[in-house]
Structure 1
Amino acid sequence: MTGLHERHLAVSPAWLALYYRHPLELTHGEGRHVWDADGNRYLDFFGGILTTMTAHALPEVTKAVSEQAGRLIHSSTLYLNRPMVELAERIATLSGIPDARVFFTTSGTEANDTALLLATAYRGSNQILAMRNSYHGRSFSAVSITGNTSWSPTSLSPLQTLYVHGGVRSRGPYAELSDEHFIKACVADLEDLLGHTRNPAALIAEPVQGVGGFTAPPDGLYAAFREVLDRHGILWISDEVQTGWGRTGDHFWGWQAHAASGPPDILTFAKGIGNGMSIGGVVARADVMNCLDANSISTFGGSPVTMAAGLANLSYLLEHDLQGNARRVGGLLIERLRAVGARSPAVREVRGRGLMIGIELVKPGTDEADPEAAAAVLEAARAGGLLIGKGGGHDTSVLRIAPPLSLTVAEAEEGAEILGEALRAAT
């Protein structure tokens, strides 16, 4: 155990997890690579949990942060803030939500917290519909709508949460159905659930479940849900903390895979927009955003420095068509990983979209999740020079792969090869 690791354990909560038997201290990065304190270089296929979205040490972002920090670091939302207004204007337009208003926070957890506040105030109800296997953050209200018990440490809650089928396509009671019949069954489940409730405020859903193992319903599920929700006046919150900004390749936002319903009433975002800087936020229709009848500000949300980073990062992403790159290079990477998975009896499924890919591991010859194998592959990949993540329902048996969106074809090929070797060595 290193001295830094010992010091970490002495002052940190026992529940603050670290990856690897011998945890890494990352010291610097460039592009799609990072280095540890021992000088080892790694190809980064996890990006600080999908947060380093564009590239490590992107010069445009570094320059914007440095220049803004040299002028003014902080002011709070009590003063006019030009970078905040400029970024809000761009996000409002990109969101697709008509007459949109934007409120900045410092994290995805806080963004979802704010969305829940808005929805419950607007509808006069503390009842929330959420998806099974979901994850929405670590605050008291966010864990109360998280349908993954591995990340929900308390049953106490300020909200009454009801869980809906549909976030996981390949497991559960409807897994054997066709996509069309899967959607019909989930809609019927939602209709039945609403027949036993009074006045839900909103449905919150990740278009692709992140911590849950990069699972997703068939395209169109949330459009079908929306028809039901609209009849009851229930709001739809799309949690885009992990799916936003073009990561899925086919779409800029995850909700657009269900676009027949139009945009959500509320959209939350975070992670990738700051490329490592702490930015979260909420976009909502003006009538929803303006429904609060008490004072509310943010001390750190919309910080001039983080807003400057977000503007530079978003400009780079759009000017270099990183969504298109995620679609092209992500398609290649999924193809390579499916070929790798076909050779391993431990791989149940390789799934994903763009540069958001999950590899689900099971005990060979069974359908039983194998979290020990996932931990072993994580270690073996690190030994081979590749950093990946893990997640999954209640068992953490899914390898999570989400490189920066500027990933090259050569890096995708290299990562797939290292991961193939890691699977062979560990399973």
Structure 2
Amino acid sequence: MEDNKMTYRPYPNSSLKTSLLGYGMMRLPAIGGGSPRDRADAEIDQDLVNKEVAYAIRHGVNYFDTAPVYCQGRCEQATREALRPFPRSEYHITSKLSNFDRKYWSREESVKMYQQSFVNLGVDYIDSYLLHGVGMGGFDEFMHRFVENGMIDYLVEERKAGRILNLGFSYHGDVRAFQWLIDHHDQYHWDFVQIEMNYVDWDYAHELNDFNQNASYLYGELEKHGIPVVVMEPCLGSRLANLPTFLEERLKKSDMTKSAASWAFRYVGSYPQVMVVLSGMTYMENLEENVGTFSPLVPLTQDEVEMLHGVAHDMIGLHTVPCNDCKYCMPCPFGVDIPGNFKYYNQAVNKGCLPKDKDDVHAATFLAGLDEAVAREAQADHCRQCKHCVPLCPQNIQIPERLAEMSQLIAKLRG
């Protein structure tokens, strides 16, 4: 292993500690650029994945997070190929019960999905296995997916048999599902829980969307029960890596050498109950920078934490769409690029150049940029209000309403 200065944290039920930086395999690179997460016809660039995973392992990363639904269903297989050259005892691999579709809610179909992950990954045990997206569709859906079909009990038995080393869940949305699982901790013994956590969601997740819970509450509950925390969305879907200029300048005043992303990673990594911080690293330059941030992680001072909380306070006043670009809402039945539209809108808000009407000085530039960023046939005005996307959004964004607002603005600008 090369000059490894990676920060490690204890990992349950294993003598092998886990790297604090975890490799999220949700955004693997595609041939020709981008990721299969973005384009259904995109092919995973396996050669590049192999190089990136090899670099990660050489620099101390040993936690790889997969799911059967990632990268158009090809994530687990690509991860298996990338990890093939390395001893199984030297890395932790995770997967999830991603039974979002109603056709997988039965015990039989859920068990098939679970067992297929072993085949896809080429392993005889999975280090960490999660109930995926608990609370996304509300409490009743959670009960159908995991409780009434007996899947939690089944997975607990699989853990006893050694086919799962650690059992946990990832949480989005309905707090009743989170609380039910925590209330049953004595019965099921959750080895870890994965939550959205960053310096904006710490105090403002609920203010941005009353369906979500502040990370401070979630972290506090897990800390109270001694449950290790795995962090997702440390950069809020890249929004904290691409701050508005006036906020980024505030960070630069504190330390010119640190990127906005590194501040976000150091924030979550500074909490002692955090076991792993996940990052979906599509490009080698992202991987290299993040490895540097965690090798070793330099915890924030209290003054730096307070500075970031101030940035968060000012950021929520910008009234952007709280889209993290996860693309769970895609594909749209009518071809709308939902996250693409929201991303462009948010960029205009962050830059202070969102036009109000066709006479606004920014109007022409906004429209021209929109046509470059999002194909005309995929823009907001093609939304047919079918609401197919609404239950799929982990942030509980009322997507058709927000697209309608954007469509009305565009119509006003085009005159």
Structure 2-normalised TM-score?
0.38
Larger RCO of the pair (alpha carbons < 8 Å, separation 6+)? 1
Greater share of residues in strand: 1
- In terms of fraction of residues, the more helix-rich structure is 2
